[in-house]
Amino acid sequence: MDEIIVGKVYVLDDHIDTDQIIPAAHLVYSLSDPQEAQKYGQFALSGVPPEKAGLPGGKVPFVPPGETRSPFSVIIAGENFGCGSSREHAPFALQKAGVRVVIAASYARIFYRNAVDGGFLIPLESKEKIVPYFKTGDSVEVRIKENRLYRRADGAEFELKSPGDVLPIIQAGGLFAYARRSGLIKS
Amino acid sequence: MGMTITEKILARSAGKPRVNPGENVWLAVDVLMTHDVCGPPTFQIWKAEFGDQARIWDKNKVVIFPDHYVFTADPHARRNIRFLDEVAETYRLPHYYAAGSERYKGVCHIALAEEGFNVPGSVVIGTDSHTCSAGAFGLFATGVGNTDAAFILGTGKIWEKVPHSLKFRFEGEMPVYLTAKDLILKILGDLTTNGATYCAMEFAGSAISQLNIDERMTLTNMAIEAGAMSGIMAVDEITRQYLTARGVTEFEEFTSDPDASYRATFTYQVEELEPAVAKPSSPDRHAPVREVAGTEVTRCYLGSCTGGKLSDFVNAARILKGKKVKVPTFAVPATTTIARQLNTVQVDGQSVQEILLEAGCVVAPASCAACLGGPVDTVGRAVDDDVVISTTNRNFPGRMGSKKSQVYLASPLTVAAAAVSGKISDPRDWL
Ligand code: SF4
């Protein structure tokens, strides 16, 4: 796991559910065929209503039309990110689009588990609601060990919550890697 | 300090004398359930991670129901089903309910109950967020993703954070116009969609003990809509009868201790509640039906694990009998068993199936169908700016198909009242 992640942010509202992250009609593509799995990147966050897509102004496509990678590798969002279905396709789609870390005020349980156990991306929680302080396109630096987020333009600093006893799984890069490392399963 | 029913079940599964909320424990899984959307990636991850060592920890504990995208020509969806057919054959899985076979069942959560896999006191994990439905049988049930499921497939184990419990007491005599759907929509309105995140929702009270298993599953099914990890209620005579009829006679019954600790307790008097909807586009946008009465709808939908059970169709038939629907109305039984029961169970001397057909409903084969939109050829899927009223459990933007559509969630009674009047109507005016 990289300790420091630098990237541009894409800002979202509260309650981004899994149908917005990856609409159900797209769940049919293979997750294991590398070529076909690109489709998940292409349609990541395609269910977000346009006026909410990339706050504060909205109408910022997360992935440029026809492409499979997003220019935004950090997502900043409000409460209850990833609510809805249990589809692991959701953190997978974000990962395929190039997201490395999500910083939300809070998460739905299954999305959080999936992100961590699958090692798709790093879900972190902000101490306060930070959505109003950011606009889509801001450059940021996330320091995982220090639980801090910096806005590069002015150096403004925001505190994150520690992932607590889930950190070892995040650091290992997922549940299987963790289980091997700790001897839970034989490699 | 006493323990809640959830803590007792988790302690048993973790092999500990007691567990405390917030603590991470490794659980021994009793049933792993999956379906056609998450089954294939689960098996792929399992194979990739365990490699040559890949062994299924216990074939008798793996249950697979194709149910989501069954009646579609979509090539990717067909491929998922073929994949499961092959897996079941290769590993000789005893509990596979193949699409297109005699054994085909339909919606996993209801099928799991009907086939007797919901054993009180056990731990049921499924690759579907509504796996919490099984909690209606006094067991711990929750949904997980494919990686967690693949890990279980190889090890029989899962880590979980022991949830805090919230208690919901419903007291009084259930009025004829009220259903479990109205109760859970009320809770969601009060709690919001993240009001129970990482909690267990425990249901109790004199009104709950009057509910049949179908209705109880409507409550536990939608626990996830408040972000809960699980929903649960204790076993009683109604549960025992349901289980005995399905050959399940050996199980452990747990109950919450009187001095167990709850994060909060909510008490409702059912006579004071009224028929409700969740307005577009979130299940917590609760409103009494009379507040939105008169809203014109373009489509009505009866189906899903929440609203496609036998009792749901019986309730709808109470209003539909002898009338005609004014807007396209779809009736999709959750399982093939329910589809058969519609022909035999009667309301006022006429079979439910006949009532539905005579009213002009489209009765489709058992599956998830338009509950989650699905491929474009899915029956009942919302198109363009449809205004739908539905007995399903989610109305997030685009959930039932078109992103422009608006979906109201309601009880089967309220949906039937809308079907015969073409607009949202209070079912009390139609009973
Ligand atoms: S009926 Fe709907 S909610 Fe239930 S399992 Fe199927 S898609 Fe999910």
Q: Look up the CATH number of the domain holding residue A46.
A: 3.20.19.10
Q: Which of A40, A80, A88 to mutate to test the interface with B (most CBs of B within 10 A)?
A: A88
Is residue A55 situated within a structural domain?
yes
- Do B383 and B279 lie in a common domain? yes
What is the spatial distance between Cα B79 and Cα B388, in angstroms, rounded to a whole number?
Answer: 31
Q: What percent of chain A shows pLDDT beyond 70? A: 99
Last residue of a domain, one of B267, B297, B330: B267
Which residues fall within 8 angstroms of residue B255, CB to CB, at 6 or more apart?
Answer: B5, B234
- Do B15 and B139 lie in a common domain? yes
ipTM of the complex: 0.90
Q: How many domains does chain B have?
A: 2
Per-residue pLDDT at B374: 86
Which residues fall within 8 angstroms of residue B374, CB to CB, at 6 or more apart?
Answer: A24, A25, B68, B69, B72, B368, B381, B401
Domain, as residue range, for B11:
7-267
Sign of the dihedral defined by the CA atoms of residues B216, B221, B222, B224, in that order: positive
Is residue B17 situated within a structural domain?
yes
- Do B217 and B355 lie in a common domain? no
- Do B105 and B125 lie in a common domain? yes
What is the spatial distance between Cα B236 and Cα B240, in angstroms, rounded to a whole number?
Answer: 6
- Do B328 and B241 lie in a common domain? no
**Judging by DSSP bridges, how do beta strands B24-28 and B31-35 pair with one another?**
unpaired
Which residues fall within 8 angstroms of residue B166, CB to CB, at 6 or more apart?
Answer: B196, B199, B200, B201, B202, B228, B262, B263, B264, B265, B266
What is the spatial distance between Cα B375 and Cα B235, in angstroms, rounded to a whole number?
Answer: 39
Is residue A177 situated within a structural domain?
no
- Which of B194, B372, B403 lies at the smallest CB-CB distance from A83? B194
Residue A79: its chain B contacts at CB < 8 A? Answer: 194
What is the spatial distance between Cα B397 and Cα B373, in angstroms, rounded to a whole number?
Answer: 11
- Do B121 and B161 lie in a common domain? yes
pTM value is 0.94
- Do B248 and B292 lie in a common domain? no
- Do B229 and B319 lie in a common domain? no
- Do B208 and B107 lie in a common domain? yes
Q: What SS3 class is residue B286?
A: strand
Q: Could you state, in chain order, the average pLDDT of each consecutive group of 10 residues for chain B (431 residues)?
A: 97 96 94 96 95 94 97 94 98 98 98 98 97 98 96 96 97 98 98 94 98 98 96 98 97 98 98 98 97 98 98 98 98 98 98 98 98 92 96 93 95 98 98 94
Is residue B371 situated within a structural domain?
yes
Q: What is the mean pLDDT of chain B?
A: 97
Per-residue pLDDT at A1: 74
Last residue of a domain, one of B251, B267, B283: B267
Q: How many domains does chain A have?
A: 1
Is residue A178 situated within a structural domain?
no
The CATH number for B47's domain is 3.30.499.10
- Interface list for B 286-305 with A (CB within 8 A): none
> Tokens representing A168?
């070892």
Q: Closest by alpha carbon to B232, among B261, B200, B208, B256? A: B200
What is the spatial distance between Cα B138 and Cα B133, in angstroms, rounded to a whole number?
Answer: 11
Q: In chain A, which residues have pLDDT < 50? A: none
Number of H helices, E strands in chain B: 14, 19
Q: Of all protein residues, whose CA lies closest to atom 1 belonging to ligand 1?
A: B304
Q: What SS3 class is residue A130?
A: coil
Cβ pair A28:B229 closer than 8 A = no
| Chain A CA closest to residue B196 | A108
Is residue B1 situated within a structural domain?
no
Is residue A170 situated within a structural domain?
no
The continuous run of DSSP H or E covering B109 comes out as helix B108-114
Q: pLDDT of A133-155, one tens digit each?
A: 999 999 999 999 999 999 999 99
Is residue B240 situated within a structural domain?
yes
> Tokens representing B182?
């109205």
- Do B229 and B112 lie in a common domain? yes
> Tokens representing B277?
């909807």
- The DSSP code sequence of A16-66 is -BHHHHS-GGGTTS-SSSHHHHHHHHHTTTTTS-GGGSSTTT----SS-TT
| Chain B CA closest to residue A19 | B399
Cβ pair B403:A47 closer than 8 A = yes
Is residue A184 situated within a structural domain?
no
Is residue B307 situated within a structural domain?
yes
Per-residue pLDDT at A187: 65
- Do B222 and B86 lie in a common domain? yes
Which residues fall within 8 angstroms of residue A68, CB to CB, at 6 or more apart?
Answer: A38, A39, A41, A42, A96, A97
Please give the angle made by the CA atoms of B73, B125 and B10, to the nearest 5 degrees: 170
Q: pLDDT of A152-182, one tens digit each?
A: 999 999 999 998 889 999 999 999 999 999 9
Is residue B70 situated within a structural domain?
yes
| Chain A CA closest to residue B393 | A84
Is residue A171 situated within a structural domain?
no
Is residue A167 situated within a structural domain?
no
Q: Which of A110, A167, A186 to mutate to test the interface with B (most CBs of B within 10 A)?
A: A110
CA of B35 to the centre of ligand 1 (A): 11
Last residue of a domain, one of B221, B245, B267: B267
Is residue A140 situated within a structural domain?
yes
Is residue B295 situated within a structural domain?
yes
Domain, as residue range, for A136:
4-161
Is residue B377 situated within a structural domain?
yes
- Do B123 and B164 lie in a common domain? yes
Per-residue pLDDT at A184: 86
Per-residue pLDDT at B221: 98
Distance of residue B240 Cα from the nearest chain A Cα, in angstroms: 30
